Amino acid sequence: MGLQLIDFVEARGNIVRNCPGTKHHICCGYKTIDLVEGCILSCSYCILKGYINTPNIRINSDMPYILSQIKGFIDTEKTHILRFGTGELSDSLAIDRRYRLNRPLIEFFGETKRAILELKSKWAQIEHLIPYLNPYTVISFSLAPQRIIDKEEKRTSPLYKRLRAAKKAQDCGCFVGLHFDPVIIYDGFEKDYEYLIGDIGRIIDLKRVLWVSLGLLRFPPRLFERFLEENRKNLLYGEFVRGEDGKYRYIKKERVKIYKMLYSLLKEQENDLFIYLCMERKEVWRGAIGTTPEDNEALMGFFDSRVKTLYGGTL
Amino acid sequence: MQNIPIEQINANDRKFCISYPLKDGVLLSSINKIGVIQPLLVLGRRPYIVVSGFRRLEAAQELGFTDIPCIVVDMDEKKAMLSSIHSNLGRTLNIIEKAYCVDKMFTMGFSREEISDVMGIISLGFHEKIIKRMRDLANADDAVKDFVVKKNLNMQNVESLLRFANYEISGIIDALSTIHTTESMLREILRMLSILKLKNGDIDFSIIKGVDNQYDLKKRLKCSINPILSELEEDLNEIKEKCALPPEIDIKVDPFFEKEYIDMHIRANNPEDVGRALLKINSILDAGYIRSIFGLTTY
């Protein structure tokens, strides 16, 4: 891979927007802050490769403009507790120590106290943020067995560092989020996930995990060709079909089976965990978890309840 | 222009040849009837080296001609190569011929700009990946080239084919040569073979041995790559067979068993037809077949 350039650009248009979600699947009403577009971590399965046609990183540097957009969303929302994240078009922490982009956001959410900022990452460096962290920022890590990190997430932090960083965030008074996304089917993945979830239970205080997401690998057709060209055996090991949204997904029967397995492994560790499926069909929710939100609105309601349970009346 | 004895031409020197294949039945019968009308372009050294007219020369040799009309020119190799390419632009070049253009220009040390110009003229994008594929194709075995021409493979399918190891390409050609395949089906089959190779590390050609047609081939590959989907399809077919639906009624299930709903179609010409269809639907509902179909998409 060639050199990645960093461009600082003045924010224009909608930097803060509704997570695009996906057609015919239940989505959680997340708000994305496109503070950074592009990623240095370059995971093999990264969906950004299919959407962003430049290897360069774009940083939207007009923070007052971004904060005013966030405020606009918060002020107009009457029903739900909004959740914002910077991890949609980039990794939230990968370049943060160098460029210090998150600090004003963390401080803004800490002062506003009406919504949650989620910093979602595979990069376990949070020391520079510790003095500014407050409960309105959730530090989240995407988690995968080390075998997948070694092969498909080569530039990211190893699993033990991510878990240690999550624990450190908890020790600073933050809630954390855990994202098993993408979950990849490969030879022996069941055992690896069992060990992974066991490790998480030993290192992290699961009572202070705000949410856990499960999302099986999915990708647009153009990435299928890339995976074939790059001989990505792990990524194409399972059985794929085209979903209603045009993306490739594992066949539904498999998805239900795997979600069920992960759900029960996680619940065995901590029964009170709030676990949701990312971009899944109602029927998969029902098959895997035994219940389903009727629509996106209902899922947002589940999030509200979870946040209220953990934050009490402070939000 | 002059008639030159064929024995004075070095027919084996094909450094300027971009024609593939050299044998052309239509040209042969035309030359047999009225002779070589358009002269060859040859370099004026001894023996003569053909710049353009390789297929005419091939046909003339096959027909036992002793001499052939030629225009003798004196030019350097690069100009001769460009003359060869441009003299063939009046017809549609197949992908092997395009590959020859690219490969020979590289071999002769043309600049990137010159190569880019020619690639533009023959409708090839100037891209490293395409150049590599074209050069690989130009240097592939004749069996591969023949297959590519015979099946009229497009760039995407050529790329997919050349990704395999040589022994695998031979196996694929063996399996596909005897059956008719559409371009899109070929794309799908090559893709399935790539997946199979990626998953298993190798292709077990025994699973596609003796296939009757493209659909049979696709079905066999699908069973290996999509065992769950294939099983669901089989279950669905079994249930549908048990339903013994008349042609006026059809039950459609999402081909990937993603969507939870099913579609039921009734074709009716009058209210009586509708009544009969509803009775039939009621009977398969009572027999539990509809529930069984839903069981394939819901868990």
What is the pLDDT, as a whole number, of residue A80? 92
Q: Please give the ipTM for the structure prediction.
A: 0.87
Confidence at B28, pLDDT banded by 50, 70, 90: very high
- Contacts A–B by Cβ distance under 8 A: 58
Task: Give the closest-approach CA distance of B134 to chain A in angstroms.
Answer: 17
From the list A237, A254, A283, the residue facing B228 with the nearest CB is A254
Where do the H-state alpha helices sit in B178-287?
183-200, 214-225, 227-243, 271-286
What tokens were used for A248? Answer: 């490739």
DSSP A138-183: EEEEE---HHHHHHH-TTSPPHHHHHHHHHHHHHTT--EEEEEEEE
What are the strands of the beta sheet with A248-250, ordered from one edge?
Answer: A218-219, A248-250, A240-242
Are residues A241 and B198, on separate chains, in Cβ contact within 8 Å?
Answer: no
CA distance to A16, A58, A135, A137, A170, per residue, from A103 (Å): 17, 18, 14, 10, 18
Give the mean model confidence (pLDDT) for residues B213-219.
94
Are residues B198 and A228, on separate chains, in Cβ contact within 8 Å?
Answer: yes
What is the pLDDT, as a whole number, of residue A54? 73
Are residues A233 and B199, on separate chains, in Cβ contact within 8 Å?
Answer: yes
Give the mean model confidence (pLDDT) for residues B193-215.
91
The pLDDT tens digits of the residues spanning B97-153 come to 999 999 999 999 999 999 999 999 999 999 998 999 999 999 999 999 999 999 999
Residue type, B49: I
Q: Coil, strand, or helix at residue B73?
A: strand
Interface of A with B (CB under 8 A): 228-229, 231-233, 236-237, 239, 241-244, 249, 251-254, 256, 281-284, 286-287
What is the pLDDT, as a whole number, of residue A2? 57
In 3D space, the residue among A304, A312, A297, A259 whose CA is nearest the CA of residue A18 turns out to be A297
Cβ atoms within 10 Å, residue A193: 22
Pairing of strands A16-18, B249-253: unpaired
Residue B38 has pLDDT above 90, yes or no: yes
Mutate to test the interface with B, among A225, A241, A279 (most CBs of B within 10 A): A241
* Residue A113 contacts residue A136 (beta carbons within 8 Å): yes
Provide the angle, in degrees to the nearest 10, between the axes of the packed helices B166-177 and B183-200. 140
Residue type, B265: H
Per-residue pLDDT tens digits of chain A, which is 315 residues long: 456 777 888 767 889 998 887 778 888 889 999 999 899 998 999 988 767 767 788 898 899 999 999 999 999 998 899 999 998 889 999 999 999 999 999 999 999 999 999 999 999 999 999 999 999 999 999 999 999 999 999 999 999 999 999 999 999 999 999 999 999 999 999 999 999 999 999 999 999 999 999 999 999 999 998 999 899 999 999 999 998 889 999 999 999 999 999 999 999 999 999 999 998 999 999 999 998 898 888 999 999 999 999 998 777
Q: What is the pTM of this model?
A: 0.85
In 3D space, the residue among A208, A141, A219, A209 whose CA is nearest the CA of residue A179 turns out to be A141
Give the mean model confidence (pLDDT) for residues B34-45.
94
Pairing of strands A83-85, A116-121: parallel
What is the pLDDT, as a whole number, of residue A201? 97
Provide the angle, in degrees to the nearest 10, between the axes of the packed helices B128-138 and B112-121. 80
